[in-house]
């Protein structure tokens, strides 16, 4: 049998772990909205009380064939395959920004369907492969 | 059997292990680096900046693993009061801190060309910074309190920090983050091509060896410190 002192220390530690897990869970639960780095177009559609003066981030995929560049202004549609939002942006874009790829736009909502971004971040996906393989996959898709 | 855990015995064992690792480490490092920097293909999207991943990912893995080790040893130490475990946790902590910093710095260097920003306060990156702070406090506490007290406080700190580990791991799945989800999955197919997975695993192995080397040397120093203390006591 374990000595009494050892048992005491073990139970103290177990209680400590238990309470801090619950504490951190509650904190994360309360912060839930703020932990999200960006909102999806669906989040914005559902959300009733949007502050149009506050900067927010919208993330999703750049919809294919919607990217238009006109007089330094870039327009495209962010989609999460359920809802869409129009984005307008002036400035430099990261290298990985492309149609059909993930994107996070930072800026202000004009209305629920139109977003004016002042910063664009490209979101990279978890796929890593050499360029030759990508070409083969493209050929197979055709 | 008791002799096996005696500090002098461990000391000799460490010497042998350090010599062995030293003899193979640099060759393996050269092999792994040449695979990672020269022979592996560039990524179809990121180009050559994918090579940062060969340091970033192993560093992140090691930082998570060493914190888990510290936490488990701290729990055992707190409950059973085993002197050696304290030395082990004290020796792992600086390595963990170093690799956490490497993961954060390489990540932000990679972030600039791919995401378009050095820094984003998303869940993954923030929780990594929190872990770095836990490491920092764990190390610093020993400088401010005497050994017995510091040992108790750091154990409790490690237990609380342990909760952060699953948060780091699953942050990319639970919340929307700028950081991409894991490419290498324990169950299911990995979304990284094998020509990139091989150098990654090689680099991971080499960095683990490096960790072992630093850990053993640090452990040795801690044992020497104790011996010195005992000598002083003997003199008086």
Residues of A in contact with B123 (CB under 8 A): 35, 37
Q: Which residues of A touch B176 (CB under 8 A)?
A: 36-40, 59
Q: What is the pLDDT of residue B140?
A: 94
The pLDDT assigned to A137 comes to 73
pLDDT for the residue B5: 66
pLDDT > 90 fraction of chain A, expressed in percent and rounded: 6
Measure the CA–CA gap between B170 and B172, rounded to whole angstroms.
5
CB B89 within 8 A of CB B143: no
Q: Which residues of chain A does B45 touch, with a Cβ-Cβ cutoff of 8 Å?
A: 96, 101, 124
CATH superfamily of A41-123: Nucleic acid-binding proteins (2.40.50.140)
Q: How far apart are CA A105 and CA A88, in angstroms?
A: 10
Angle formed by the axes of helices B83-114 and B194-235, nearest 10°: 140
Q: Do B183 and A126 touch (CB under 8 A)?
A: yes
pLDDT in tens, chain B (236 residues): 455 567 788 888 899 999 999 999 999 999 999 999 988 888 888 888 889 999 999 999 999 999 999 999 999 999 988 888 999 999 999 999 999 999 999 999 999 888 888 888 889 999 999 999 999 999 999 999 988 899 999 999 999 999 999 999 999 888 888 898 888 877 777 788 888 899 999 999 999 999 999 999 999 999 898 888 888 776 65
Coil, strand, or helix at residue A101?
A: coil
Residue A100's nearest CA partner among A73, A127, A119 is A127
For residue A68, pLDDT beyond 90:
no
- CA dist., res. B136 & res. B133, Å (int): 5
Cβ–Cβ under 8 Å, residues A104 and A125: no
Kindly report the pTM of this predicted structure.
Answer: 0.89
Q: Which one has a higher pLDDT value, B151 or A127? A: B151
Torsion of CA B215, B220, B221, B223, to 10 degrees: 130
- Beta bridge partner(s), residue A119: A106
Q: Which residues contact B126 (CB under 8 A, 6 or more apart)?
A: none
Q: Does A136 touch chain B (CB under 8 A)?
A: no
Residues of chain B in contact with residue A37, where contact means CB-CB under 8 angstroms, are 120-123, 175-178
Is the minimum CB–CB distance between A21 and chain B shorter than 8 Å? yes
Q: What is the pLDDT of residue B1?
A: 45
The owner of tokens 């971004």 is A117
Q: Is A84 helix (H, G, I), strand (E, B) or coil?
A: strand
Considering chain A, what is the average pLDDT of its residues? 85
Is residue A49 predicted with pLDDT exceeding 90? no
- A32 to chain B nearest CA, in Å? 8
**What pLDDT, on a 0 to 100 scale, did the predictor assign at position B92?**
95
Task: Output A129 or B137, whichever has higher pLDDT.
Answer: B137
The confidence score (pLDDT) of residue B101 equals 96
Angle at B111 between CA A52 and CA A119, to 5 degrees: 25
Gap from A83 CA to chain B (nearest CA, Å): 17
Nearest to B160 by CA among A124, A114, A109, A22: A22
In the three-class reduction of DSSP (H, G, I as helix; E, B as strand; rest coil), residue A81 is classed as: coil
In this structure, chain A runs to a length of 142
State whether A20 and B115 contact (CB < 8 Å).
no
Nearest to A121 among B117, B121, B175 (CB): B117
State residue B173's pLDDT score: 87
Q: What is d(CA B88, CA B69) in angstroms, rounded to the nearest whole number?
A: 9
And the tokens for B23? 């003899």
Taking residues A10-26, what's their average pLDDT?
90
| Closest chain B C-alpha to A51 CA, distance in angstroms | 20
């Amino acid at each position: 049998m374990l000595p009494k002192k050892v048992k005491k220390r073990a139970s103290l530690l177990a209680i400590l772990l238990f309470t801090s897990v619950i504490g951190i869970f509650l904190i994360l639960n309360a912060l839930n909205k703020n932990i999200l780095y960006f909102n999806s177009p669906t989040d914005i559609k559902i959300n009733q009380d949007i502050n149009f003066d506050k900067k927010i981030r919208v993330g999703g995929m750049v919809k294919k064939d919607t990217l238009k560049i006109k007089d330094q202004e870039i327009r495209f549609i962010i989609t999460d395959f359920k809802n869409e939002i129009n984005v307008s942006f002036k400035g430099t874009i990261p290298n990985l920004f492309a149609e059909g790829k993930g994107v996070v736009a930072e800026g202000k909502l004009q209305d629920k369907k139109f977003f004016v971004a002042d910063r664009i971040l490209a979101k990279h996906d978890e796929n890593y492969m050499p360029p030759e393989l990508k070409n083969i996959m493209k050929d197979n898709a055709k | 059997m008791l002799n096996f855990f005696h500090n002098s015995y461990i000391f000799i064992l460490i010497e042998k292990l350090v010599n062995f690792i030293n003899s193979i480490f640099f060759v393996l490092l050269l092999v792994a680096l040449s695979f990672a920097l020269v022979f592996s293909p560039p990524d179809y999207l990121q180009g050559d900046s994918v090579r940062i991943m060969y340091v970033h990912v192993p560093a992140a893995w090691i930082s998570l693993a060493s914190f888990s080790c510290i936490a488990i040893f701290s729990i055992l130490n707190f409950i059973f009061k085993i002197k050696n475990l304290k030395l082990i946790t004290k020796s792992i902590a600086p390595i963990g801190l170093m690799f956490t910093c490497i993961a954060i710095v390489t990540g932000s260097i990679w972030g600039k060309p791919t995401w378009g920003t050095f820094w984003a306060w998303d869940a993954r990156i923030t929780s990594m910074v929190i872990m770095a702070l836990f490491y920092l406090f764990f190390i610093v506490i020993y400088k401010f309190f005497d050994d017995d007290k510091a040992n108790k406080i750091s154990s409790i700190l490690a237990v609380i920090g342990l909760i952060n580990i699953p948060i780091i791991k699953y942050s990319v799945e639970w919340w929307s983050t700028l950081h991409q989800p894991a490419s290498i999955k324990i169950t299911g197919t990995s979304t990284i091509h094998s020509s990139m997975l091989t150098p990654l695993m090689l680099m991971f192995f080499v960095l683990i060896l490096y960790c072992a080397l630093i850990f053993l040397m640090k452990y040795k120093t801690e044992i020497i410190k104790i011996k010195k203390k005992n000598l002083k006591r003997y003199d008086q």
